[in-house]
A and B are shown apart, each in its own frame.
Chain A
C-alpha cells in the first residue's frame, strides 16, 4: 500500500508520466481516497505552472543594440537577401511550410500540384490510366506505412520525428517502386518514372512530413 510520504516522492515522476503502470494505478487509487494528497498534487501542479509564468527578462537595450550591430555587420543590408541561393530559399520555404498545421496545407497543395502535373502529362502521353495507377500505388505504398506508424506512436503516446515518418514513407514508396517494376508497362520511359513514380514518392513523403507535424504527435 502506497503511503502519503511515498506519494510525495513519486509525484514528479507521476506528473512526468514516467511511473510504471502498477505504481501509477497505486498512486491514483491513493489519490482517490486521500484528500490531503490530492491537495499536495494540486499544489505541485500550481507550483509548476507558476514557474512557467516567470517573466522573461528582455536584454538591456545597450546589449541588444551591440548584438544587432554585430548582426548587421555580418549581414549587410541589401546584400543578404539577393545573395541567398535559390536552393536555400526553397529549403527555407519548405521548413516554414512544414511547421504545425501548415504541414497539412503544404502536403495537400503539393499533392494536388503533383496530381495535376501527372494528369496533364499522362493525358499527353496517352497513358493516363496507367500512369495514375502507378502514381496511386506509389502514394499508397508510402502513406499507408507512415500513417500506421503515426497511429502506433499515437496509441503509445510517444513522439515521432519527421525523419522517422519520412524514412518510412520513402521505404514504403521504394518498395512500391520495386513491386511496380514487374507490372508497370511504362516503367521504361524516363518521363513516366519521374512523373508518376518519383512524383508519388514525393507526395507520400510530404504527407508523412505533414503527419509528423500534427499536434497530437508532438
Chain B
C-alpha cells in the first residue's frame, strides 16, 4: 500500500528506511484479494489533501502555493515536453500554466480535481504552442501500421500456437524497485519514456508516473477511453521490454 497513494508523488530517491521482508515481497505490498489487483497502479488521488490544499490556496496561504509548485512542476514539464520542441519552450509553457493557475484559482469550480485542472491548462497551452510552431501531436491510436507492427511482445517469442517459445526470465521480485534507487535505472526509464511516441508517452506519464485515473487522463488529453487504453497498453508493454532487456542482461558490477 505504501507505494500507491501519497507516496507516489513523494520523491523516492531516498531509499526506503525499512525494506520489506524478503519472505513475501509481492503479496505484502499490494494484492487485497485475488481479482482485486485492479486497484494497483490506478489509485485515485484527489480527495482530502487536494481539498485541504485548495482551501488553503483560496485563503491566500503562501506555503500552499509553494507546495503546489513543488508537487507538480516536474510532472508538468515532462508533459509539456510531449508537445513542444524543446525544453526552453516547455519551461515557458509551464510558467504560462502557473500564471493561468494564479489568475484562475478563485474561479476554479472544483468540477475536476485541482491536479486535473492544472494539467488540462498545461495541455491546452502546450497544444496551442505546438500548433504555432507547426507541430502536431497525433493522439490517434488507430489507423496506422503501428498496431500490427508493435505487439506487446515480439511475435518471434511465441510459437505458432501462441505459446511462449522464448519466455520471460523471472526477475528478482522487487528488482525494478530496488534498482530505482540507482541513478542508471531512472535514466534508463527516462530515456525509454522519451523514446515513446508522443501520445503513448503522454498517457503513461499521466497514468503511471503521475498516478491519475483513466477518466482524468481522457479529460486532460481529450481522448476517448478506448484510445487511452490502447495507448496505455502499448506504452506499458514497451517499457516492460526495455526493463527486461536491462534487467535480464548479465549483471555488470
Contact = CB atoms under 8 A, between A and B. Distances in A.
B69 A42 contact: no
Interface string B182-206: 0001100110000000000000100
B59 A84 contact: yes
Interface residues of A, number: 67
B243 A50 contact: yes
Given A91-B55, A159-B44, A53 B177 contact: yes
Contact of B209 (A37, A54, A83): A54
B164 A12 contact: no
B151 A53 contact: no
A154 to B, nearest CB: 12
Contacts of B185: 50
Contact of B167 (A39, A47, A67, A92): A39
A153 B8 CA distance: 26
A12 B237 contact: yes
B243 A47 contact: yes
Chain A interface helix/strand/loop/mixed: helix
A51 B208 contact: yes
Contact of B62 (A5, A51, A75): A75
Contacts of A64: 66, 69-70, 73
A189 interface: no
Interface residues of B, number: 86
Contacts of B170: 39, 42
A10 to B, nearest CB: 9
Contacts of B171: 39, 42-43, 46
A91 B162 CA distance: 58
A68 B65 CA distance: 8
A18 interface: yes
Given A15-B38, A39-B169, A218-B44, A74 B102 contact: yes
20 contacts: A4-B158, A4-B164, A5-B162, A12-B236, A12-B237, A13-B229, A16-B38, A17-B37, A24-B35, A42-B170, A46-B173, A49-B176, A51-B208, A52-B209, A56-B11, A58-B73, A59-B69, A92-B59, A100-B48, A102-B48
List of 8 A-B pairs having minimum Cβ-Cβ separation, nearest first? A17-B38, A3-B162, A99-B48, A80-B60, A92-B55, A57-B74, A100-B48, A36-B167
